[in-house]
Amino acid sequence: MRTILITGCSSGIGYDAAHALAKRGWRVLATCRAEADCERLRAEGLESFRLDYTDEGSIAAAVAGLDRLDALFNNGAYACPGLTEDLPRGALREIFETNLFGYHDLTRRVIPLMRKQGHGRIVQCSSVLGIVGAEWRGAYVSTKFALEGLTDVMRLEMRGTGIDLILIEPGPIGTKIRQNSIPHFEKWIDWKTAARSADYAKLLGRLYGEKTGPDRFELPPSAVTKALIHAVEARRPKARYYVTIPTHIAGIARRLLPTRWLDWLVA
């Protein structure tokens, strides 16, 4: 039985992927940051335990007892919206701990096991915002750009080992990332005293307003799962999987357009 470890399974992309791969016969290690979510997943028939990217002990414990791991899906992440000029150092330090350092720590810990096996797939959940930037999303964008670069280098370094490094770049996807970003926004962004406090009206409406339907071009988490299945089951997986129309457009635009034209397009 093939085994995959998936992070961020409490909802959204990770939740959908865990159930879908279990139905396909994989042994799924569906991890969550909170034990209460793990209990819920265990009640649903999944093998689940706690893994928090900011807790090195939980990462070490997740890998310690494994004797086989065919695939890792690094998925858990969060956003901290706000103008970049209003992001304090602590906000960036905190988001990088989860969105990059935790990914890297877990990845490094599974590589020896995969090398011993002679094969493995490490799939990183990036974003359309790992290809192009967008206003109000500087903290999240910076982590995804860093993840893309780190994964590109590791893919080169792993050539010939049987270990594949793969990026999935979705966006937008119907998840709780917007709602989950609110506590981080409230913790770190002092928007009321910001030089551009009036400009925050639109962001506040988007954060706190009730969502009445999907965003334009938004796809469900199952669209990411479809890409993940190909990434971990295909004989020759792609190095990158674009999910949603905006991601395909961003990938082409990044390669072909001058920077100022790309800025205009994104804006």
Q: Exposed e or buried b for every residue in 4-16, given b needs 16+ CB within 10 A?
A: bbbbbbbbbbbbb
- Distances in whole angstroms, Cα of residue 183 to Cα of each of 79, 83, 138, 156: 10, 16, 17, 37
- Mean local confidence (pLDDT), 200-204: 93
Q: Which of 64, 61, 43 is nearest to 52 (CA)?
A: 61
Measured at the CA of 200, the angle between CA 195 and CA 205, to 5 degrees, comes to 170
Predicted local distance difference test score (pLDDT) of residue 240: 98
Q: Is the pLDDT of residue 191 over 90?
A: yes
Predicted local distance difference test score (pLDDT) of residue 224: 98
Predicted local distance difference test score (pLDDT) of residue 235: 96
Rounded distance, CA 146 to CA 36, Å? 31
Phi and psi angles of residue 77, each rounded to the nearest 5 degrees, phi first = -165, 165
Element (H, E) at 122: strand 120-125
- When pLDDT is cut at 50, 70 and 90, the band that residue 194 belongs to is very high
- Over residues 132-176, the pLDDT tens digits come to 999 999 999 999 999 999 999 999 999 999 999 999 999 999 999
Q: ω before 172 within 30° of 0 (cis)? A: yes
Predicted local distance difference test score (pLDDT) of residue 93: 98
pTM: 0.95
Predicted local distance difference test score (pLDDT) of residue 156: 98
Q: Which of 17, 49, 139 is nearest to 87 (CA)?
A: 139
Predicted local distance difference test score (pLDDT) of residue 215: 85
Phi and psi angles of residue 220, each rounded to the nearest 5 degrees, phi first = -75, 165
- When pLDDT is cut at 50, 70 and 90, the band that residue 32 belongs to is very high
- Give the number of other CB atoms < 10 A from CB of residue 163: 22
The percentage of residues in the chain with a pLDDT greater than 90, rounded to a whole number, is: 95
Catalytic residues: 140
Predicted local distance difference test score (pLDDT) of residue 42: 98
- Mean local confidence (pLDDT), 184-204: 96
Give the total residue count for the chain: 267
Q: Which residues contact 266 (CB under 8 A, 6 or more apart)?
A: 132, 133, 134
Q: Is the pLDDT of residue 251 over 90?
A: yes
One DSSP character per residue, 136-180 reads TBHHHHHHHHHHHHHHHHHHHHTTTTTEEEEEEE--SB-SSHHHH
- Mean local confidence (pLDDT), 6-33: 98
Element (H, E) at 21: helix 12-23
